[in-house]
Chains A and B, each alone.
Chain A
Amino acid sequence: MNVIEASGLGKRYGGTWALRECALAIPAGHVAALVGPNGAGKTTLLHLAVGLAAPTVGTVTVLGGRPAGSPAALDGIAFVAQDTPLYKNLPAADMLHLTRNLNRRFDQGYARARLADLGIPLKRKAGHMSGGQQAQLALTLALARRPRLLVLDEPMAMLDPLARHDFMAAVMTAVADDGVSVLLSSHVLAELERVADYLILMSRGRVQVAGDVDDLLAGHRVLTGPAAGAGRYAERLSVVHARYGAAQAHLLVRTSGATDPVPPGWEAHPVSLEELTLAYLREPGAAALPGPARARDAEPTEVTK
């Protein structure tokens, strides 16, 4: 099952395309990181997936084909928007009450137990909580709906390092306990590198890279060798990003899976996720879309909505 599937998806605000030609298929059971610079279209994609915005073109479904925004889709998704919005003047108990009445499913016992574990008093108003507690309250409200997919938009942007660690630990514990799939966005890859096993890299309104992190790392490597013959060698490779010094060259390349032998004088190194991400962000024309590449072929038939 795919938790999010998009085909030919696009969103235009006025004359500006916030998202274009987006084809995605995120399998269930992953912690997926949606990474890209500010303004890349991350929030737009998330809003389309959770039904807060309607596509201009294309389609997006969630949790195995449920149309985004439909009651069936909303039932299985919990979304925490950027800056964890809460009613500042409402005590935690009232936030629980409100969320319970606004949703078909809400596990009140779980929510109360969780807040007690965290030491957040039910009488305390959201506005009087620390940033970490507010984030944990928003997460509790989301998890108490027992979602199959948890979507978090820049969840840790305003948290200090300790609160950040505790928040992520809470999310990962939910994954361990309930097997919930997670999609979270950030413009800082380092925040998500330790938790994500699926990466979606966006820039300028397009999805540039999408895939299983292990597959992505195994499918790329850095070749280091003499700059003299590098240009000729590079022609035979699928180079994502190249850096040339006077004597030495570094080529970040996509490999066909099997580790091809390198010419004498060249060394192959494994690539880190950060190196890979930076290389793609520096080359907006390059793309690595193993799964969605197939979906892209089907695009023309599905663009008309």
Chain B
Amino acid sequence: MTIDKGISRAGGRADASSPGAGGGDGPAAAARGPASPIEFRLDPASGVPTYLQLVQQVEHALRLGYLKPGDQLPKVRDAVAALAINPNTVLKAYRELETKGLAAGRPGQGTFVQATLSQIALPELTVLHRSLLGWLASADAAGLDEDGMAALFTTALREFRGRRGGSGGRRGAAGGGTEGVA
């Protein structure tokens, strides 16, 4: 036994703050090697399983150019300390990224980005973003609500993918689980 039971109760509520009690986060930061360009965050209300949130954030970062081939993904220990999640969850996410061919583990070093997703220059992206906003405005003017817009976009995307002969692969933005990397 570590501690005898029932010696004393810890009294009332915790103080307003416990400086430095960062659960290894702060101290670990100092010991960190070359850091990953990205940090994970979690949305508990999204209903998306935790490991999948991590996978999607890496894919998102790849699409937006935050991550490039050769970049290191957050170390398992760092992700665990920052998010207070089970290390197996991070490992599961990295396995999924490896299966998709997007990342590869290097023994003793960590997991690194292997491939990229639809690299597109930022200015180009801005232009596309703006034209999409224009489309949304005209859809709104035509009386379409948000669900209607999403449904129309998804249908059009599916049609587009079908017309290209199912070679959607890497460029598909819908991020479906079955969508592999070409």
Task: Say yes or no: B13 contacts A131, CB within 8 Å.
Answer: yes
Give which listed residue, A31, A87, A172, contacts B7 with CB less than 8 A: A87
From A85, A118, A130, A177, give the contact of B3 (CB < 8 A).
A85
When distances are taken between beta carbons in the complex, the residues of chain A under 8 Å from B28 are 173
Min CB–CB distance A138 → chain B (angstroms): 6
Q: Are B3 and A131 in contact (CB under 8 A)?
A: no
When C-beta atoms are compared, the residue in chain B nearest to A179 turns out to be B87
Q: Which of B5, B10, B27 has the most CB of A within 10 A?
A: B10
Q: Would you call A85 and B9 a contact (CB within 8 A)?
A: yes
Contact residues in A for B25 (Cβ distance below 8 Å): 166, 169
B1 A159 Cβ-Cβ under 8 A: no
Do the beta carbons of B77 and A176 come within 8 Å of each other? yes
Interfacial chain B residues near A196, Cβ < 8 Å: 86
- B-side interface mostly: loop
**A residues 152-178 in Cβ contact with B at 8 Å:** 158-160, 162-163, 165-170, 172-173, 175-177
Q: How far is the CB of B31 from chain A (nearest CB, A)?
A: 10
The answer to whether A85 and B77 have CB atoms under 8 Å apart is no
Choose, from B16-24, B93-101, B123-131, B163-171, the stretch at the interface.
B16-24
Contacts known (A99-B2, A131-B10, A167-B23); A176 close to B87, Cβ less than 8 A: yes
Q: Judge whether B147 is part of the interface by a CB distance below 8 angstroms.
A: no
B76 close to chain A: CB less than 8 A: yes
In the complex, what distance in Å separates the CA atom of A51 from the CA atom of B76?
Answer: 34
**B74-123, CB < 8 A from A:** 76-77, 80-89
Chain B residues whose C-beta falls within 8 Å of the C-beta of A173 in the assembled complex? 23-24, 28, 77, 80-81
What count of chain A residues pass the 8 Å CB interface test?
57
Sorting the interface of chain B by its residue count into under 10, 10 to 19, 20 to 34 or 35 or more gives 35 or more
Q: Is the CB of B86 within 8 A of A197?
A: yes
Residue of B3, B21, B26 near A132 (CB, 8 A) is B21
Indicate if the CB atoms of A176 and B76 lie closer than 8 Å.
Answer: yes
Q: Are B86 and A166 in contact (CB under 8 A)?
A: no
- Please pick, from A79, A102, A103, A168, the residue contacting B84 in the complex, using a CB distance under 8 A: A168
Q: In the assembled complex, which residues on chain A have CB atoms less than 8 Å from the CB atom of B3?
A: 79-81, 84-86, 99, 138, 141-142
B176 within 8 A of A: no
User: Given A52-B1, A172-B85, A173-B77, are A81 and B6 also a contact pair (CB < 8 Å)?
Assistant: yes
Apart from the given pairs A130-B15, A132-B15, A194-B50, 10 other A-B contacts in the complex at a CB distance below 8 Å: A85-B7, A85-B9, A86-B7, A130-B14, A131-B10, A160-B13, A169-B80, A176-B77, A176-B87, A194-B89
Q: Which chain B residues have a beta carbon within 8 Å of chain A's beta carbons?
A: 1-15, 17-28, 42, 44, 47, 50, 76-77, 80-89
Q: Can you pick out 8 interface pairs between chain A and chain B where the beta carbons lie within 8 Å of each other? A: A84-B3, A127-B8, A158-B13, A169-B23, A172-B81, A176-B77, A195-B85, A195-B86
